[in-house]
Structure 1
Amino acid sequence: MDPMAYGRSAADRHGRRDARHPAAFATAAASIASFLVGMDVLIVNVALPTIARDLGGDMAVQQWVVDGYSLLFAALLLLCGNLADCWGAKRVFIAGATLFAAASLFSSFAWSMAVLVAGRCLLGVASALILPASMSLINEANPNPRRRAWALALWGAGGASASAVGPLLGGLLTPVHWSLVFAINVPFCLLVLLLTLRVAPSPRRPKPFDWTGQTLALTGFVLFIAGVIEIGSLGVNSPLAWGLTAGGAFTLAAFVRSQTRARAPMMPLGLFRVRGMQVALMIGFVMIFNWYGMVFISTMFLQNDRGMGTLAAGLVFVPSAFVTVFGNIVGGRIITALGSRFSITLGLAIMIAGFLFEFLYPAPIPVWVIATGLSVVGFGAAITTPAAAGVVLASVDAAQAGIASAMFNTFRQVGGAAGVAVFGVVATFLPTLTLALRAVFLASAALLALILAFELLCWRGR
């Protein structure tokens, strides 16, 4: 055997192993960050009554502790997606993780509700920096479609499991002290930063900044999402809520018009003509609309109708966390074996089956039915989400990965805010939470069936 050939072979193997390491670090950092961003949406809910006893504040102020995070998160995603493309995903990701750690410490030492709301808004800004950059990091580190599918499955597992782990951690930490629900973020952020140091630098793609578009987009999203939130808080007869929503819709329409005239638009409208983007954006919106609405109404049902405590209610969501992580792993295998289109179709069908199972079960609805339904829906979502994210990244070139990821996640966050508000309004009009829960199950199944039909129609014959 030629010793030089052996040397070259060993060197090649060593080089391939070295090449895998940055991808592994990027995937791990992005997945942990996805978990953090998702967990911080829900972990504070359980602690709110205790926080209010210490710091004061009525129900509206408590709601803004939650919604201040979601509002800034959703409103800034498009800007941060552009920043990830212009400045480099790694730089923006590091900035977001650093701000997340600082804002978490600031929130944990809050001395008033106003300060806490400010801290939550800073956390929303940090999350907006992190999320599109995390998808771009995965895209850059995993150019091979099969490995990218696995990486996105792990990234999806981080975000999906957080929705169940968040309430549970909140229930465990709050009895010690409510500040721990924020302080717990810091060691996770430090781990993310350490992992990111081993990630290869991201390319910078400087381009003119669309100040008009960004101003209109930020203003429009803030007004619209605030209006949706206030409809859920103040009711459908609130002039303020509808005024905010109408103002936001008008401003967003002006933003879309500005994008047709801008020399370097911050949200290229041509992406909406890409078939894969159309499907992924619709899926992202409806899935999170249904999931957040279901979690919100289910939590109310378990605590108010079933008389369960906050920790016990949080435990109902734990099985779905494990099933969701398993689903993301299985989903990665399905994507690599059968493709994203098959995975999306299968995942949507499973979610529809889960919602129908809960809807058709005779009253009274047992707790195990809710836990089982959450797990089935979570399993379907775990298969669908990384496949949809993969479609987004495959539909655009590398230079637009950040803004495409931001568009996908913007639709998801707006869907989540709308789901809580809409289903919350439905609950106020129905006589019992049991009926509200059934309405959520039926409406969710119907919406997903429409998306499934839309997806099959879009890809028929392709």
Structure 2
Amino acid sequence: MTDSIRTTAMNVPHAPNATNATRSHDDTASHGDRLSSNLTTFAAAVASFLAGMDVLIVNVALPTIAAELGGDMAVQQWVVDGYTLLFAALLLLAGSLTDRFGAKRLFLAGATLFGAASLFCSFAWSMAALVAGRCLLGVASALILPASMALINEANPNPRRRSWALALWGAGGASASAVGPLLGGLLTPIHWSLVFAINVPFCLMILAVAHWIKPSPNRAIRFDWLGQALSLIGLTALVAGIIEVGSIGFAAPVTLALLAAGLIALVAFLLSQKKVAAPMMPLNLFRVRGMQVALQIGFIMIFNWYGMVFICTMFLQNELHMSPFAAGLVFVPSAFVTIIGNLAGGQIINARGSKFSITLGLAIMIVGFLIEFLTPAPIPVWVIATGLSIVGFGAAITTPSAAGVVLKSVDSAQAGIASAMFNTFRQVGGAIGVAVFGVIATFLPSLTLALRSVFIASAILLAYVLVFELLRWRDC
């Protein structure tokens, strides 16, 4: 069966037979099954919230952490990218491990490591120790995120329930993007270590419902250790090289060596995927139009969002001299809007399909970025808050749709690796976004100009994805 036929067969929630199957399944499902499904979805949404929050909660605390532990712009970028980089680089391996050992095992192992690494970060005695702890958090997030998507797929076999579950999962991640800076602003004045310690209760919450999560199937698959090594080396060197452009300059030998090593390793990684028996990134998935759309959306959306939040928090505190708490309050409206948008997103998908939902979400995000870009200087704080809310609402509609496209584009045997590819592209986009926009902020004369550059660049990139989606993909 071809990928296009498989996609068509899996996306039939509106057909009469699918509707009857939906009602039949809902009628015959036992109370225990429904409880297990609901708690599994809840745990997956909490995990999605944690993974998203930990990228951005630290941004507001960075000036305070740097004042106590030391560190210039490059070191502060590593506090963020130490997490996102390991997160991104290990997602594909985690996807394979999810398929091999079962989503439940990987999910619970990741939650346990996440809690332990959070405690380590909260007691960090130096920037080096903090970066190391953030790397451990990245490993833990890589374990839980693809497993959480796979668990949703297993716990919600009905397409309509799965759409709703994915909306809740997306609400966790998207709301965390807004809640993270707010919590960072609330906790940093007490002590910066609390922005990491706050993770522990959420991890305990996940482990508390582990009993109700049904065991996951496992499959005998081989691991692509060569591909994992090449991707890790390539991504680390490339992001390090981008960061060092802002720290020591593009022409510096170290910068050039890192960039060259990163590109060479990534090219070698792609070549290796054509030859190994069990590739960690099956290249045939790139031929599926739905996957093409979802992967581009995942990369560019998080590239824009992480880069914007990083520069925005720097702008609010360093240029406008706002306190961490006041800077965190700027993100409050978007926190509520993203939650509403994700819950509405599930309804829009069921009513109008993924293509309509993605088109609407991308268009809303472009409008939000353009409003902020076109506002005359100095940019008022209320405009920043409004723009963040508009962008967040569009992203909240788009994210569950893109995640659903990923699951519909592959069969269940590839759900783990496909989810890992989607989330890898998202986190790679986030790591590169922080690195690129951090470099832009270093070279531009003011953070105001850097923020404007983020706005217009983000609008242009999203416009490209929108055109690609409209012209080259049909929601079958």
> Is TM (by shorter chain) over 0.5?
yes
Letter in 2 for 1:331: G
Instruction: Give the 3 Å change call, closer, same or farther, for CA 229–146 of structure 1 in structure 2.
Output: farther
Corresponding residue number in structure 2 for 1:397: 411
After TM superposition, list the pairs within 5 Å mapping 1:3-42 onto structure 2: 15-42=29-56
Corresponding residue number in structure 1 for 2:129: 115
* Pick aligned residue for 2:157 from 122, 143, 150: 143
Are 2:239 and 1:225 equivalent residues in the alignment?
yes
Give the Cα–Cα distance (whole angstroms) in 1 for the partners of residues 392 and 475 of structure 2.
30
After TM superposition, list the pairs within 5 Å mapping 1:13-412 onto structure 2: 15-57=29-71, 59-412=73-426
Deviations 1:20-61 (A, max 9, x none): 221111110011111111111122233334434544555544
Give the Cα–Cα distance (whole angstroms) in 2 for the partners of residues 292 and 266 of structure 1.
26
After TM superposition, give the deviation of residue 442 of structure 1 in Å.
1.6
Preserved CA contact (<8 Å) 1:225 1:414: no
The TM-score normalised by the length of structure 2 is 0.90
Letter in 1 for 2:466: L
After TM superposition, give the deviation of residue 216 of structure 1 in Å.
1.6
Preserved CA contact (<8 Å) 2:189 2:324: no
Instruction: Give the 3 Å change call, closer, same or farther, for CA 54–444 of structure 1 in structure 2.
Output: closer
| 3-state SS of 1:404 partner | helix
Instruction: Give the 3 Å change call, closer, same or farther, for CA 232–163 of structure 1 in structure 2.
Output: farther
- Give the number of aligned pairs: 452
After TM superposition, give the deviation of residue 408 of structure 1 in Å.
0.8
Give the share of equivalent positions with the same residue, in percent: 75
Preserved CA contact (<8 Å) 1:228 1:417: no
Preserved CA contact (<8 Å) 2:334 2:393: yes
After TM superposition, give the deviation of residue 279 of structure 1 in Å.
0.5
Letter in 1 for 2:333: P
Instruction: Give the 3 Å change call, closer, same or farther, for CA 261–290 of structure 1 in structure 2.
Output: same
After TM superposition, give the deviation of residue 227 of structure 1 in Å.
2.3
Are 2:454 and 1:440 equivalent residues in the alignment?
yes
Are 2:435 and 1:421 equivalent residues in the alignment?
yes
Letter in 1 for 2:296: M
Which structure 2 segments of 5+ residues have no match? Answer: 1-24
| 3-state SS of 2:209 partner | helix
Letter in 2 for 1:158: G
Letter in 1 for 2:39: F
Preserved CA contact (<8 Å) 1:28 1:195: no
Instruction: Give the 3 Å change call, closer, same or farther, for CA 196–458 of structure 1 in structure 2.
Output: farther
Give the Cα–Cα distance (whole angstroms) in 2 for the partners of residues 461 and 211 of structure 1.
35
Instruction: Give the 3 Å change call, closer, same or farther, for CA 402–338 of structure 1 in structure 2.
Output: same
Give the Cα–Cα distance (whole angstroms) in 2 for the partners of residues 439 and 200 of structure 1.
47
After TM superposition, give the deviation of residue 438 of structure 1 in Å.
2.2
Instruction: Give the 3 Å change call, closer, same or farther, for CA 383–234 of structure 1 in structure 2.
Output: farther
Give the Cα–Cα distance (whole angstroms) in 1 for the partners of residues 193 and 321 of structure 2.
26
Deviations 1:170-211 (A, max 9, x none): 222223232222221111101011123211111001112222
- Tell which deviates more after alignment, 51-60 or 401-410: 51-60
Letter in 1 for 2:254: L
Deviations 1:334-384 (A, max 9, x none): 011111111001101111111111122233321111111110010000000
| 3-state SS of 1:197 partner | helix
Letter in 2 for 1:456: L
Preserved CA contact (<8 Å) 1:160 1:324: yes
Give the Cα–Cα distance (whole angstroms) in 1 for the partners of residues 69 and 445 of structure 2.
34
Letter in 2 for 1:302: L
Corresponding residue number in structure 1 for 2:10: none
| 3-state SS of 2:62 partner | helix
Letter in 2 for 1:373: G
| 3-state SS of 1:389 partner | helix
Letter in 1 for 2:80: V
Give the Cα–Cα distance (whole angstroms) in 1 for the partners of residues 61 and 234 of structure 2.
31
Preserved CA contact (<8 Å) 1:232 1:420: no
- Root-mean-square deviation (CA, aligned residues, Å) is 2.0
Are 2:470 and 1:453 equivalent residues in the alignment?
no
Give the Cα–Cα distance (whole angstroms) in 2 for the partners of residues 184 and 383 of structure 1.
27
